Structure 1
Amino acid sequence: MQQIVTWLFDYAFYYPLVMSFVWMSGGLIYYLRWERGQPKRVDPPALESYPFVTLIVPCHNEGEQVRETIAHLAAQRYPHFEVIAVNDGSTDDTGAQLDALLAEYPQLRVIHFASNQGKAMGLRMAAMAARGEFLVCVDGDALLDEYATHWLMRHMVSSSRVGSVTGNPRIRNRSTLLGKLQVGEFSSIIGLIKRAQRVYGRVFTVSGVIACFRRSAVHDVGYWSTDMVTEDIDISWRLQMHHWDIRYEPNALCWILMPETLRGLWKQRVRWAQGGVEVILRYTRQLLRWRRRRMWPIALEYIFSLVWAYAMVSIVLLWLLGLFLPLPPALHVPTLLPQWHGVMLGMVCLIQFGIATLIDRRYETRVGRNYYWMIWYPLTYWLLSTATTVVAFPKALFKRKGTRAVWTSPDRGVR
């Protein structure tokens, strides 16, 4: 029993420590290999060709921001494109606003669904109606940078094996502590992880809020799954298991709204965690084949994170039981307050945040002023990650097969 408890504590400490070093080293390798010396974002390199591109924006109750979103899509510096907006059974004035915008933007087309069919179905219908072979998909509250399509297409025209390119989401709303923490998270956690995963060959997921797809690749894997709670994670895995390449392009910026209430953040992160578990449960058997071996690192990384979450919960439960029951010394957890382990993890996390901030200054010069707030992030992130994973795993495990994932309006934060 003593040995098991020791292993539990060692794993809870060493997993985040090791992964921080993996992400930092991978992020630095990516920067030195692909980012350093690149042209400025506003001066992208010329492309060999400029194929026609379809910009897709699925919308559900986006009346407050859909005009701004369409305006940014129409302002792309890329020469040849169209815009398809899908009004997915909105109950507000989204449909009416989109119809009014048809007169302002001749490159805009609108598809209306009578009822809520879900984002995956909206993407499917738009892909089938698209005139372009390349699809740039954004969310209905996102503001796409005017040069983003050009940077995404740089990868598509460079290799016929590129099935998707994921962009660089940036947080728009930063008026609260949760907003500031998420600015640092998207830079030092999400951006750094994508860089590291790109270095070792496979990306866990494209960013659903901004991603470019080759339509023939999407057709090859059967389009987006309508029964997965996170269609972006699912299609990322299916593309890569069919040997399509996924790349990360940090110059393809997209400004997004994120939750700034605990309730909204909780719902979002439970959905993300459930989506990851659903993918692991659905595709683990296929991953056992040798031809899919390049997917093993990201699969193992996610499985280890699941084990870590339950290890943390076990430690907390032992501490709570020790408050009310006499436990054997081998099971006694005296305190949850940070000891030297916690101090070391905190220092490594701050180093990670510092490295990511220095890399990201290329895309947002004032991102470093959020570094002060990131001292709170390790505690917030670990608690949230642990709790959402523990809740999401049984939800994914006992989810009824074939249930369609439909829209639920998220928390858009304080603006």
Structure 2
Amino acid sequence: MAWSTLPLTAWLFNFAFFYPIVMACVWMTGGVYYYLRRERKGPLPDAPPPMATMPFVSILVPCFDEEEHIGATIAALSAQAYDDFEIVAVDDGSSDRTGEVLDALVADHPRLRVVHLAQNQGKANALRIATLAAKSEYLVCIDADAIVEPHALRWMVGHLIDGPRVGAVTGNPRVRNRTTLMGRMQIGEFSAIIGLIKRAQRTYGRLFTVSGVICAFRRTALHDVGYWSDTMVTEDIDISWRLQMAHWDIRYEPNALCWILMPETVRGLWSQRLRWASGGVEVLLRHGRGVLAWRKRRMWGVLLEYLLSLGWAYVMLAIMLLWLVGLFVAMPASLHVETLLPRWHGMVLAVVCLLQFATSLVIERRYEPNLARHFYWVIWYPIAFWMLGMLAAVIALPRTVLRRRQRALWTSPDRGARA
């Protein structure tokens, strides 16, 4: 049958089938290339290369209702294998004892300075206040529930020193709560999906976003683009696009390890993924047209990748709706969906998915030698997280278009159970 005569459902199924396969191949190819060129023979995370200079660095820690975790975070930051740095923690109007805990920590951590805000004004505003209080040109931003490895600071600041046009460096978050199926699946997500994507995007020039939980910035670059926006749901995606559109480079440093807590309830995970999806749509609406300019052509790959992912979500929704309507109404042949159950297509997708996970295991084993024991749990990822991501993207588009622009305040997320 000629392509021009295929029914609509065939077009939908072909796109739904080939999109994840093609993107998996792109991510694997880019990830392997990045690994062979930059990681395979490079130093290990606990043995960073020597630095010609070790400039003063400011570590910024925005906090909101973090009394349970902030002590461990500050302790890990104070133990950084770096000579000269300060820690600026901003208590953004917390409703718990975060402010009191921070004040008590000053006695044990002389590098720590604390700024108290009377009201919750959002993470972007807290980061701006911390930047005003900071003394350095080099700013490392860490979430208040993250545990940073001792050499992470050196790995990230090294890029800022070596490249005058490097505006930001994003680190390598790793999931540390691994007691539930949902937590174990996210281990695979961060290595097999997010890690490969960042490597591939870095290979063809631009990143969709830094990881807000661990990233370093050049103050000059932030000043050039106007710092973080307090009206964006995800300030990390927005600042990434604005920096790159202004021709600042963003690098990925997989050796800058950071251990994070992720949601382990359906409600918490849904809230997080809807926020991520809404942030992507916001950036598309605000910056999508500007990216089309020829001078910003290096962003075209990131834009196309995001548009295809959004299109895939709506194609999946259309297939499901056609199948559901067909249960009750006789549909014309061009719109008839016989079943949603995977046949040979599902087998091919499963093989490609497992190949992607295996590729990531080869790359990521230098950071987590025992990562392979979590491989079994990752096989459930496509069923659970693809559907969750699809629904989040479908809802995020109209939700964001209709949302009245206002300051984005934060609330304490579900962080699961710590192992």
Same fold by TM (over 0.5)?
yes
| Contact 1:86–1:122 (8 Å) recurs in 2 | yes
Q: Distance in 1 between matches of 2:166 and 2:275?
A: 28
The corresponding residue for 1:388 is 392
The Cα shift of 1:328 comes to 1.6
| Contact 1:192–1:356 (8 Å) recurs in 2 | yes
The corresponding residue for 2:412 is 409
Q: Distance in 1 between matches of 2:293 and 2:337?
A: 42
**Aligned ranges 1:164-243 → 2 under 5 Å:** 164-243=168-247
| Contact 2:278–2:393 (8 Å) recurs in 1 | yes
Q: Which amino acid aligns with 1:297?
A: G
Q: For 1:61, what is the secondary structure of its paired residue?
A: coil
**Aligned ranges 1:213-362 → 2 under 5 Å:** 213-362=217-366
**1:129 corresponds to which of 126, 133, 140:** 133
The Cα shift of 1:330 comes to 2.1
The Cα shift of 1:381 comes to 2.1
| Contact 2:7–2:335 (8 Å) recurs in 1 | no
Task: Structure 2 unaligned segments of length 5 or more: list them.
Answer: none
Q: Which amino acid aligns with 2:413?
A: P
The corresponding residue for 1:65 is 69
The alignment-based identity, stated in percent, is 60
Q: For 2:379, what is the secondary structure of its paired residue?
A: helix
| Contact 1:82–1:107 (8 Å) recurs in 2 | yes
Q: Distance in 2 between matches of 1:254 and 1:41?
A: 11
| Contact 1:48–1:157 (8 Å) recurs in 2 | no
Q: Which amino acid aligns with 1:127?
A: T
Matched, 1:27 2:61: no
The Cα shift of 1:404 comes to 0.3
Q: Which amino acid aligns with 2:219?
A: R
| Contact 1:2–1:331 (8 Å) recurs in 2 | no
TM-score, normalised via structure 2 length: 0.98
TM-score, normalised via structure 1 length: 0.99
**1:51 corresponds to which of 42, 48, 55:** 55
**1:364 corresponds to which of 368, 381, 397:** 368
The Cα shift of 1:395 comes to 1.3
The Cα shift of 1:276 comes to 0.4
| Contact 1:95–1:112 (8 Å) recurs in 2 | yes
**Which deviations, in whole Å up to 9, do the C-alpha atoms of 1:104-161 show, x marking residues without a partner?**
1111000111010000000001111111111110111000111000111121111100
Q: Which amino acid aligns with 1:366?
A: N
**2:14 corresponds to which of 10, 13, 17:** 10
Q: Distance in 2 between matches of 1:111 and 1:155?
A: 28
Task: Structure 1 unaligned segments of length 5 or more: list them.
Answer: none
Q: Distance in 2 between matches of 1:86 and 1:309?
A: 38
Q: Which amino acid aligns with 2:276?
A: W
Aligned pair count reads 414
Q: For 2:172, what is the secondary structure of its paired residue?
A: strand
Q: Which amino acid aligns with 1:123?
A: L
The Cα shift of 1:2 comes to 5.1
The Cα shift of 1:4 comes to 2.4
Q: For 2:216, what is the secondary structure of its paired residue?
A: strand
**Which deviations, in whole Å up to 9, do the C-alpha atoms of 1:336-392 show, x marking residues without a partner?**
111111110111011000100110010011111111111111111210111000111
Q: Distance in 2 between matches of 1:310 and 1:274?
A: 15
Q: Distance in 2 between matches of 1:7 and 1:325?
A: 21
Q: Distance in 2 between matches of 1:36 and 1:78?
A: 25
Q: Which amino acid aligns with 1:13?
A: F
Matched, 1:77 2:88: no
Q: For 1:412, what is the secondary structure of its paired residue?
A: coil
Q: Which amino acid aligns with 2:74?
A: I
The Cα shift of 1:5 comes to 2.1
The Cα shift of 1:414 comes to 1.4
Q: Distance in 2 between matches of 1:252 and 1:40?
A: 10
Q: Distance in 1 between matches of 2:13 and 2:178?
A: 36
Q: Distance in 1 between matches of 2:7 and 2:229?
A: 44
| Contact 2:143–2:212 (8 Å) recurs in 1 | yes
Q: Distance in 2 between matches of 1:4 and 1:288?
A: 30
Q: For 1:229, what is the secondary structure of its paired residue?
A: coil
Q: For 1:41, what is the secondary structure of its paired residue?
A: coil
| Contact 1:55–1:136 (8 Å) recurs in 2 | yes
The Cα shift of 1:3 comes to 3.1
The Cα shift of 1:396 comes to 1.1
The Cα shift of 1:238 comes to 0.3
Q: Which amino acid aligns with 1:408?
A: T
| Contact 1:175–1:414 (8 Å) recurs in 2 | yes
